[in-house]
Amino acid sequence: MDPTDTAAETDVRRRIPRTDAVMSDPRLLRAAGRLGAARVKSAVRQAQQRAREGAVAPDAVADTAVSLLPRSAGGLRPVINATGVLLHTNLGRAPLSAAARRAVQEAAGPTDVELDLRTGLRARRGRSALAALRAAAGAAEAAHVVNNGAAALVLAATALAAGRDIVVSRGEMVEIGDGFRLPDLLVSTGARLREVGTTNRTTAADYAEAVGPGTAFLLKVHPSNFRITGFTAAPDVGELASLGVPVVVDIGSGLLAPHPLLPEEPDARTQLTAGAALVTASGDKLLGGPQCGLLLGREELVGALSRHPLARALRVDKLTLAALEATLTGPGTPTGEALDAAPEGLTRRAERLAALLDAEGVDVRAVPSEATVGGGGAPGVTLPSAALSLPERYAEALRTGTDPVVGRLESGRCLLDLRAVPPADDERLADAVRSVGRR
């Protein structure tokens, strides 16, 4: 070993500033207020380690620590959804509207979620959100909100069918993703499943035959992530409602009223009008709100659910209630806008961005694309869209950039589909593409 090297190394080590000294840098002090001292200290230690290894100069330790700080105290990073899948499960499904984000911010501190400020007495939790939900669903006598769609079903099965039968078609025994199967979920509550019909065809007579004294309800589940076509049959809710037991409909997507672009997608209002006793749905699919489970329907059923002990374990927090109400009463949601965006407008945006980036030397062109609603609903429906087409290597570079963009790979190109990207984010998207070009 060269003795002079060792001496130089020792000298470098001696010049590495101590943790306390680095922590007194004003930028790091401010960061400690924002992110917590432990996070900042850990960035400082990493920076010191890099200096020991000779990767950065000893007097650059503070700068390095600043560059290593996380952006926020939470670990979740905001991303641009350029996948063309409007409700992407891995990206947190529906993005909240500006109104819902503001409502969450306002509800974050102490708030009157369970207090009537006029009387000073305890009030029903989330009463205004529930009133907004009932009003938005038109025909609903009562409403209740739980953590997610699966919880809504579990609560319905537990409160209404424990130890009794739920009659369900073999064509509607759905796996909702990541290995979660609705039949398993329902059986876990102590309810018994009575499967009727076949995978492709189930008639009202099949249900009628299964109904008996042990029947708690008939369950209809919308196959929201697959489609069975061809020789199929399924009775509508009206027919089932005439069989004398409550009909519970899991519509999945949370559409409260029919949507012209999604004629096959069931909505709460239509199902309730047709005779459903209870409708369950997710809040963060086509409704475009926060993650939650909606229960809408007859007073006596919803009342029984909301008073069941399990309801306490599934209740939502004030942030969810605030976001849900703002979603229901506020201006359009990003999901609604993405769904309704005119294809010509998307093409114009793609062409403008492509021209801009092409002029800066990026290998990019505007191409037609096909977007989908996603696991949240409308299986088989494609929505005409437009995308930026970039070399394949962009996919990873954009995903791992400072403002991450998630696109999709198609025929050896990285496509950035604009349908789920709000127009206000076009410049952000262009900047992300530029930053890859420079790397």
Ligand X SMILES: *Cc1c(COP(=O)(O)O)cnc(C)c1O
Asked if 150 interacts with ligand X (CB under 6 A), we say yes
DSSP state of 332: P
Q: Which stretch binds ligand X (CB under 6 A): 39-47, 144-152, 210-218, 310-318?
A: 144-152
- 126 vs 293, beta carbon nearer ligand X: 293
- 132 vs 151, beta carbon nearer ligand X: 151
Q: Are strands 142-146 and 293-297 parallel, antiparallel or unpaired?
A: antiparallel
DSSP state of 376: T
- Least distance to ligand X from the beta carbon of 127, Å? 23
- Least distance to ligand X from the beta carbon of 87, Å? 9
What's the rounded Cα separation, in Å, for the pair 184 and 41?
46
What's the rounded Cα separation, in Å, for the pair 117 and 99?
23
What's the rounded Cα separation, in Å, for the pair 169 and 207?
8
Asked if 252 interacts with ligand X (CB under 6 A), we say yes
Q: Are strands 192-196 and 165-169 parallel, antiparallel or unpaired?
A: parallel
- 145 vs 433, beta carbon nearer ligand X: 145
Asked if 295 interacts with ligand X (CB under 6 A), we say no
Binds ligand X by CB under 6 A, chosen from 133, 161, 176, 249: 176
- 206 vs 284, beta carbon nearer ligand X: 284
CB 149 within 8 Å of CB 302:
no
Q: How far is CA 359 from CA 147, 250, 355, 397, in A?
A: 48, 50, 6, 21
- 17 vs 252, beta carbon nearer ligand X: 252
Nearby residues of 401 by Cβ (< 8 Å), 6 or more positions away: 432, 435, 436
Q: Which stretch binds ligand X (CB under 6 A): 45-53, 116-124, 148-156, 393-401?
A: 148-156
- 197 vs 293, beta carbon nearer ligand X: 293
- Least distance to ligand X from the beta carbon of 427, Å? 33
- 224 vs 335, beta carbon nearer ligand X: 224
Binds ligand X by CB under 6 A, chosen from 149, 197, 288, 407: 149
- 176 vs 316, beta carbon nearer ligand X: 176
Asked if 372 interacts with ligand X (CB under 6 A), we say no
- 22 vs 248, beta carbon nearer ligand X: 248
DSSP string, 364-375: -EEEEEEEE--T
- Least distance to ligand X from the beta carbon of 69, Å? 34
At 393, list the tokens. 């290597």
CB 238 within 8 Å of CB 186:
no
Asked if 282 interacts with ligand X (CB under 6 A), we say yes
CB 284 within 8 Å of CB 299:
no
- 64 vs 147, beta carbon nearer ligand X: 147
- Least distance to ligand X from the beta carbon of 246, Å? 18
At 208, list the tokens. 């009628």
What's the rounded Cα separation, in Å, for the pair 169 and 158?
19
Number of residues that bind ligand X (CB under 6 A): 12
- Least distance to ligand X from the beta carbon of 174, Å? 6
Asked if 425 interacts with ligand X (CB under 6 A), we say no
- 128 vs 148, beta carbon nearer ligand X: 148
- Least distance to ligand X from the beta carbon of 175, Å? 10
Q: Which stretch binds ligand X (CB under 6 A): 142-150, 200-208, 235-243, 418-426?
A: 142-150
Instruction: With CA atoms as reference, report the closest residue to 420 among 13, 10, 93.
Output: 93
Asked if 255 interacts with ligand X (CB under 6 A), we say no
CB 388 within 8 Å of CB 364:
yes
- Least distance to ligand X from the beta carbon of 377, Å? 7
Closest-by-Cβ residue to ligand X is 149
396: left (phi over 0), alpha (psi -120 to 50) or beta: alpha
DSSP string, 209-255: HH--TTEEEEEEE--TT----SS-B---HHHHHTTSS-EEEEEES--
Q: At what angle do helices 37-52 and 61-68 cross, to 10 degrees?
A: 130
Site string for ligand X, 204-233 (x = CB under 6 A): -----------------xx-x---------
At 257, list the tokens. 């009223």
Residues that bind ligand X (CB under 6 A): 148-150, 174, 176, 221-222, 224, 250, 252, 282, 293
